[in-house]
Amino acid sequence: MKLNDSLFEKMYEKNIYCGSFYKLTKIEKPNEFDLNIILKLPVNYNYIQCRNDMWFAIPIQLYNNLDYIKFEKDIYWRISFSLQENEILRKYGNIKTVIRQMKKFRDIQGLKNIASYYIENLFLNKETDINMDKISRTLLLFKMLEELYYACERQEIKWFWNEKYNLLSKIGKSNLYNISQRLKNIINDIKNNFMDQFIIAKYICKLD
């Protein structure tokens, strides 16, 4: 690209690899890889300070029902802190394994509307509320299933970096209600059969 475009050659800085594969939260075999091409914009970077020094501005279509958002959603750019998120998640030994289990649960239960990033934000939002590095993976998984149920019931997962932004706003209310009721039934089944050591596994493992 640098050979074909002189402007790109001047603005290009480096490539950054992001996404669940590089966060070690990917389940199954990787079928996609996130690559950010970093461009150096004509701004004064001395006025921008950020933990871990690097943040991204990415073009992504906006889905939200917030009144203060008035501009065209198709040309919206938002900030991204993927490196900082990975740094936070890396502090806890259990958390990435449990995130992968949550994603597996979502896939097996057919909850396709719940994006992987929504699940990761659930964990980020509960970082200081749950002793994630001191409880068992099984208990952490159950607690986060409850958190997913509560989030779908109130139809809101706050973005970790700006709580005014609701990540679930893209999903219809009826879909969220159906998901919450399904989660409620699963959680009640787990509670009623807690002596069964395979009770959670039956909702995560695909049975032939």
Report the C-alpha gap between 142 and 132 in whole angstroms.
12
Angle subtended by helix axes 137-154 and 116-125, to nearest 10: 110
Q: Work out the pLDDT band at 61, boundaries 50, 70, 90.
A: low
Q: Span 103-127, mean pLDDT? A: 92
At residue 185, what are phi and psi to the nearest 5 degrees? Answer: -65, -40
The length of the chain, given as a count of residues? 208
Cβ(132)–Cβ(92) below 8 Å: yes
Mean pLDDT, all residues of the chain? 83
Which percentage of the chain shows pLDDT scores above 90? 39
> Closest Cα partner for 152 from 111, 191, 110?
111
pTM value?
0.78
> Closest Cα partner for 11 from 43, 39, 44?
39
Confidence check: pLDDT of 82 > 70? yes
pLDDT tens column, 7-27 = 888 888 888 777 777 677 777
Q: Work out the pLDDT band at 52, boundaries 50, 70, 90.
A: low
Residue-wise DSSP of 151-191:
HHHHT--EETTEEEEEGGGGS-HHHHHHHHHHHHHHHHHHH
Confidence check: pLDDT of 67 > 50? no
Cβ(96)–Cβ(25) below 8 Å: yes
24: left (phi > 0), else alpha (psi -120 to 50), else beta?
A: left
Confidence check: pLDDT of 72 > 50? yes
Q: Which fold has domain 92-207?
A: Poly(a)-polymerase, middle domain (1.10.1410)
17: left (phi > 0), else alpha (psi -120 to 50), else beta?
A: beta
Confidence check: pLDDT of 195 > 80? yes
Bigger pLDDT: 190 vs 2:
190
- Cβ contacts of 149 within 8 Å, gap of 6 or more: 180, 183, 184, 187
pLDDT tens column, 127-147 = 877 777 778 889 999 999 999
Q: How many CA atoms lie within 13 A of 175 on its CB side?
A: 11
Q: Work out the pLDDT band at 186, boundaries 50, 70, 90.
A: very high
Each domain of the chain, given as residue ranges in start order, spans 1-80, 92-207
Report the C-alpha gap between 207 and 195 in whole angstroms.
21
